[in-house]
Structure 1
Amino acid sequence: MFTLASSSMACKTELDVEAKSSADKMWEAIRMSAQLFPKIFPEEYESIEIVEGDGKSAGTIRLLKYAPEVKILTFAKERIDLVDDEKKHVSYTVIDGEIMNLYKTFKATLKVEGKGEGSVVKWCIDYEKASEEVPDPDPFKEVAAKTFSHLDEYLCQN
């Protein structure tokens, strides 16, 4: 008897969120997420702590603690892998938390591009499911879409 090796479950999902805020303003706010997000999104983020590094450069490790209203997660620890302020581009990998029970790898790339007077936040996740039963990361994509839309609303008011 023989078994077939399971095929890799490496996948990718992408999200584009259009914003009225300029690319510079949106990028600056995203780079300040550790301070801003718990303040402006208390229903989602309890806190974002810098565990290692300066909070902004590659190698930084951040601990995101989610509010009780976020039913699917209590925390996520992520490592910033790459930052390019000039190109408004950041990549990070989730290294601990409930996400790691579902996915062998979970790496996100975020880029802010100018579009007219506004901008577009491009968010992409490269992930590998821990098993075939694991669902696609749609709930995480929905949270990201909501976060970027609400961040834009906040920036337009302030």
Structure 2
Amino acid sequence: MALTAGKLEIETEIKAPADEFFKIFRSQAHHLPNICSDKIHKIEVHEGDWETQGSVKHWSYTIVLRRLESIDEENRSITFKVLDGELLNDYKSYKFTTQAIPKGEACLVKWTAEYEKASEDGSDPHGYLELAVNITKDIESLLLNA
């Protein structure tokens, strides 16, 4: 029997400060379509606001509705849970976390995907983690050129 649930992690080091990277996802997610328009087309608040835990935002790239599950200011970590969208065609549940870990004047960005596949023969979400790394690099470019 194939594994139907799992957890994958990927890390990438960037030259931007951890606090600045964390702030993009913490309170400035509405800027992401400007930062990486080829990957994220639009983000709209569906319920709540831009910063409050539990707020629901509609991200347009592979149409996804997700809830801001938790914010950990001390560890610069944010967890999102996918509520609706194309991603749930392949997964019964999908949650991802981004964490910005200070490393001198730079930081290590860690992305974690926790998921349950809709079927045993479904693929692992490696492509979504690669997308997260590409978004991370776009944010790094913005922060270094600001």
TM-score class normalised by the smaller sequence = over 0.9
Equivalent residue, structure 1, for 2:45:
50
Q: Helix, strand or coil for the counterpart of 2:138?
A: helix
Query: AA paired with 1:58?
Result: Q
Q: 1:30 aligns with which of 25, 29, 38?
A: 25
Q: Which structure has the higher relative contact order (CA within 8 Å, separation 6+)? A: 2
Task: Render the CA deviation track for 1:53-102: whole Å, top value 9, x for unaligned.
Answer: 12222110010012xxxxxx2x0000111112232111110010011110
How far off its partner does 1:34 sit?
2.7
What percent of counterpart residues are identical?
Answer: 32
Please give the root-mean-square deviation of Cα atoms over the aligned residues, in Å: 1.4
Residues 1:149 and 1:24: Cα distance change in structure 2 (over 3 Å): same
Query: Structure 2 CA distance, aligned partners of 1:107 and 1:28?
Result: 20
Query: AA paired with 1:108?
Result: F
Query: Structure 1 CA distance, aligned partners of 2:28 and 2:134?
Result: 14
Equivalent residue, structure 1, for 2:96:
108
Residues 1:44 and 1:33: Cα distance change in structure 2 (over 3 Å): farther
Query: Is the CA contact (8 Å cut-off) linking 2:15 and 2:144 kept in structure 1?
Result: yes
When the two structures are superposed, what TM-score results if normalisation uses the length of structure 2? 0.93
Query: Is the CA contact (8 Å cut-off) linking 1:57 and 1:82 kept in structure 2?
Result: no
Query: Is the CA contact (8 Å cut-off) linking 2:26 and 2:78 kept in structure 1?
Result: no
Query: Structure 1 CA distance, aligned partners of 2:8 and 2:2?
Result: 18
Equivalent residue, structure 2, for 1:91:
79
Query: Structure 2 CA distance, aligned partners of 1:146 and 1:33?
Result: 18
Q: 2:15 aligns with which of 17, 20, 45?
A: 20
Aligned length: 146
Q: 2:138 aligns with which of 125, 150, 154?
A: 150
Query: Is the CA contact (8 Å cut-off) linking 1:34 and 1:49 kept in structure 2?
Result: no
**Structure 1 consecutive aligned stretches of length 4 or more whose deviation exceeds 6 Å:** none
State which structure, 1 or 2, has the greater radius of gyration over its C-alpha atoms.
1
Query: Structure 2 CA distance, aligned partners of 1:125 and 1:142?
Result: 11
Segments of 5+ residues of structure 2 without an aligned counterpart are none
